[in-house]
Amino acid sequence: MSVTVKYFASLREHVGQAEQQCQVPECGCSASEVWAQLNASLELPSNILVAVNQDYASLDTRINDGDEIAFFPPVTGG
pLDDT tens digit string along 2-23? Answer: 999 999 998 999 899 999 998 8
Best CA proximity match to 57, nearest among 28, 31, 75, 27: 31
* Topology, domain 2-72: Ubiquitin-like (UB roll) (3.10.20)
Best CA proximity match to 71, nearest among 40, 39, 41: 39
pLDDT tens digit string along 33-73? Answer: 999 999 989 988 888 999 999 999 999 999 999 999 999 98
Say if residues 51 and 57 touch (Cβ distance below 8 Å). yes
Give this prediction's pTM.
Answer: 0.88
Q: Write down the domain spans for the chain.
A: 2-72
